[in-house]
Chain A
Amino acid sequence: MVDAPREVWITGIGIVSCLGEGADAHWQGLAGQTVNIDAARFAPFPVHPLVPLDLDKQIPKKGDQRQMEAWQRIGVYAAGLALADAGVKGNAELLGRMDMIVAAGGGERDIAVDGTILSNRGKAADPGAFLNERLMSDLRPTLFLAQLSNLLAGNISIVHGVIGSSRTFMGEESAGVDAVRIAHARIADGQSELALVGGSHNGEREDLLLLYDAGGHMLRGDFKPVWERTGGMVLGSLGAFLVLEARDHAQARGAKPLARLSAVLSERSGRPPGAVTGALTKMWQSLAPRTTSPGLAIVSGAMGAEPATAEERAFLKSVGDVPVRATGSYLGHGFEPQFAMNIALASLALGREKVFPPATTSGIEQGYEGPLDRIVVTAVGHWRGEGLALVERAT
């Protein structure tokens, strides 16, 4: 898997989160150990709120903005940043054959409509008829289009003109890993030259809190960095897209690499005890000999759900003296886009040949001032799915 037949470069990143918009804002936020938390709005659940975006910069038509809910706007915005970063924005020839894989969940519910129905349905003479009546009259006709998973990709096609192909993967964290894996594999094999891959997540939503809290996975009360929690995720709003490109294709158009994406692996451990640690270890071993220190760091997607995070911690302890950084302590957990975000942040660190400082004094994250030319990015789903990527300094 390492040294795929054709080298895959990352030639653009587009990222937005509670730390800001774009590469520099994220680097400064990480370097400054900035934690942005809104503890009040969804109390007792803290969330990492998205910075305000000037949507007009990436979604120029107000009509397009109105046709989307927040999760789609975040994604279309981040996709625009990535295309601009790669120097392909507005280039109809390239966009016309650019492949796209989006990792997506679903869109926002109309919370008020749900509340009205839940409050009154039990009192209705005919609950079935009541539900039909309220939905028929209260649902905004185009809300469905803002909820459909594949309409993030659809909106990227409309707003930015990416049309070579359009595929949407669903399935929380794993969707994000496999989107990058398949985009990478297609380029490595010659099925694709240029691809946009990533996703978005609006964590400032009661309906999502409800889903994950039902699983017992949400942190209540005071915010803590992920390694200091005894279980519990904090939702984050984030958008992250990568432009992946065959090395030859990038060189032919004079595009520079931010980093090289050398390998993307995913597993389905099924989660009997110890399986996450085992799956991560197996993938890690398959990256040998690229996993030697010094020069190596790990950007972890750990988010605090248990037993996922405890098992990842056991894996991290087993790999020895490698600096570890869990970005979830700053960004919160965004499920589908988290892996692309962490690959983007890894490429920033590689470009600067420097690891950002630890977020926690819990011991698992240690300061590191040594050389840096490779980063392994981890992804462990809060419920299922495991993944690794190897990102290397492009030379």
Chain B
Amino acid sequence: MTSLRDKKARPVVVVTGMGIITSLGAGKADNWAKLSAGNSGIRRISRFANDGLKTTIAGTVDFVPVEPFCSTELGERMAMMVAQEAIGEAGIGRSGDFPGPLFLAVAPVEIEWPHRETLAAASGANDTVGYDDLLRASGSGRFHAIHERCLFGSVAEHLADRFGTKGSPISVSTACASGATAIQLGVEAIRRGEAAAALCVGTDGSVNPEALIRFSLLSALSTSNNPPEGAAKPFSKNRDGFVMAEGAAALVLESYDSAKARGAKILGVLAGCGELADSFHRTRSSPDGKAIIGCIRNAIADAGLTPDDIDYVNPHGTGTPENDKMEYLGISTVLGERAKSVPVSSNKSMIGHTLSAAGAVETVFSLLTLAHQRIPPTINYDVPDPTIQFDVVPNKARDARVTAVMSNSFGFGGQNVSLIFGTAP
């Protein structure tokens, strides 16, 4: 069999399995039905006290119980579920024996408040409790589980144990672009010929008090708490921040040759990846949009396409004043006049911002958009921002011919990643 190569003579990378969880539900079928119906997963936070918080809403995944709550534990459980779904769909390997590496986008791991309080209680300190007290208790041998849970590498290790991925699993963080970076690493490994398949997972279960307060203190979150489902308003004039959310997604990437050889169904093509970091500021894009523009151009060029080939954009579209303005500048600079007519709809209007998982979650939705030839809407689009002249597919899904999709992911720390997807060759 002759090997299928792209325009740059690299192995063509395809998707043969997908899994997803968001605040809308578990699995592709449920998520796509709700997303294309314009449903919102944003709700009042019931997991912890809301007292004193400016933001009391989030897209929590409450149907995966974790008691006592631990963000990393929730992230791991969701990652297990979506990886199972993706591998099941791909029908690849044998159970517990996935024939390729794991690339995991995961939120930075840390000791959480319940862990700290467990150690404080064990210290026996009464009046004041400091790290000296915690360190008196920590070495007792009773807290190995806290050590393992709070290592940065343990979610990936546990996934690798369960699914039998090959080699050292890589945990990646590029802030809110992490999910896209995990996919990019998988694409590169297949293009290098190191692997015929890769498991790429993004997961985030970050809705805990401290994580929410951190974003709140940076004025990044919407405070439109009533009603919760109306808070995320990407591209609207009255947008006032993003809504934190949880979720996970997994993709089985495979060389076209490998997929064909085993008769797998090809769900889409991962045609290109682009990246360019921004050196302007820790949380803001360079005002000239240079890094975003370069990132988008790099992705389109990597896919061997031109801007005219892109017929749908799944934007980062967080609904912060800054992001949406800069993303419009970036897309409109590259697409030119076509930026006014190419549909650009934000999944985050419905599922919120799934942070480290977002790039993977939105890749799955982009591929479902291609599969269904139906574009999910941007909901809560009632007050258009006249300076952002996108066709945002307002409030209602639309059938359309879609052949090449671009998905953008941008993150704190100057992170920019764009991915390009196409239909099966």
A residues whose Cβ falls under 8 Å from a Cβ of B: 45, 67, 100, 104-106, 111, 114-115, 118-119, 121, 126, 128-129, 131-133, 135-136, 139, 141-145, 147-151, 153-155, 157-158, 161-172, 174-175, 177-178, 181-182, 185-186, 189, 191, 206-207, 209-218, 220, 266-268, 270, 381, 383-387
Contact = CB atoms under 8 A, between A and B. Distances in A.
Contacts of A148: 108, 173, 175, 412-413
Question: Of A158, A168, A214, which is in contact with the most chain B CB atoms at under 10 Å from its CB?
Answer: A214
B135 interface: yes
Contacts of B412: 145, 148, 150-151, 154
Interface in B146-172: 146-148, 150-154, 156-157, 160-161, 167-172
Interface of B: 48-53, 106, 108-111, 113, 116-117, 119-120, 127-132, 134-135, 138-139, 141, 143-144, 146-148, 150-154, 156-157, 160-161, 167-175, 178, 181, 185, 188, 191-194, 209-210, 213-218, 275-283, 291, 411-415
A132 B120 contact: no
Contacts of B215: 144
Nearest to A266: B168
A155 B277 CA distance: 11
Contacts of B139: 213-214, 216, 218, 220
Given A115-B131, A174-B153, A210-B111, A135 B413 contact: no
A128 B48 contact: yes
B174 A150 contact: yes
B6 to A, nearest CB: 14
B153 A151 contact: no
B192 A185 contact: yes
Given A119-B127, A154-B413, A385-B153, A170 B49 contact: no
A61 to B, nearest CB: 12
A56 B150 CA distance: 34
B147 A175 contact: no
Contact of A118 (B116, B160, B178, B277): B116
Contacts of B108: 106, 147-149, 170
A158 B151 contact: no
Nearest to B123: A118
Given A119-B129, A215-B147, A132 B49 contact: yes
A169 B101 CA distance: 15
Contacts of A141: 217-218
Contacts of B150: 211, 214
Given A136-B217, A206-B132, A211-B147, 11 more contacts: A115-B128, A115-B131, A132-B209, A135-B213, A163-B414, A170-B173, A171-B152, A175-B170, A186-B192, A210-B135, A268-B169
Contacts of B291: 163
A150 B144 contact: no
Given A144-B214, A383-B148, A189 B131 contact: no
A170 B181 CA distance: 13
B218 A170 contact: no
Given A118-B120, A136-B53, A166-B275, A207 B170 contact: no
Contact of A133 (B52, B172, B282): B52
A149 B173 CA distance: 7
Contacts of B52: 129, 132-133, 136
Contacts of B141: 216
A100 B277 contact: yes
A270 B163 CA distance: 13
30 contacts: A106-B110, A114-B131, A119-B127, A126-B49, A128-B51, A135-B209, A136-B52, A141-B217, A150-B174, A150-B411, A151-B412, A158-B279, A162-B277, A163-B277, A163-B278, A165-B277, A170-B106, A170-B109, A170-B171, A171-B152, A171-B169, A175-B152, A178-B168, A186-B188, A189-B193, A206-B131, A211-B151, A266-B168, A383-B151, A384-B154
Nearest to A133: B52
Given A118-B116, A157-B279, A170 B217 contact: no
B119 A214 contact: yes
A154 B414 contact: yes
A388 to B, nearest CB: 12
A182 B170 contact: yes
A114 B128 CA distance: 11
Q: Which 10 pairs of residues, A with B, have the shortest CB-CB distance?
A: A154-B413, A128-B49, A171-B153, A215-B147, A129-B51, A206-B131, A266-B168, A170-B152, A214-B143, A166-B277
Contact of A169 (B109, B167, B172, B210): B172
A383 B130 CA distance: 27
Question: Of B141, B275, B277, which is in contact with the most chain A CB atoms at under 10 Å from its CB?
Answer: B277
A166 B415 contact: yes
A261 B117 CA distance: 46
Contacts of A167: 172, 174, 181, 185
A145 to B, nearest CB: 5
A118 B117 contact: yes
Nearest to B127: A119
B93 to A, nearest CB: 16
A351 B48 CA distance: 58
Contact of B283 (A145, A157, A217, A218): A145
Contacts of A214: 119, 138-139, 143-144, 146-147, 150
A307 B340 CA distance: 61
Contacts of B214: 139, 143-144
A189 B192 contact: yes
Contact of A172 (B132, B152, B170): B152
Contacts of B181: 167
A168 B173 contact: yes
A144 B49 contact: no
A349 B363 CA distance: 47
Given A139-B213, A157-B279, A166-B413, A150 B175 contact: yes
Contacts of B151: 171-172, 211, 383
A158 B282 contact: yes
A169 B171 contact: yes
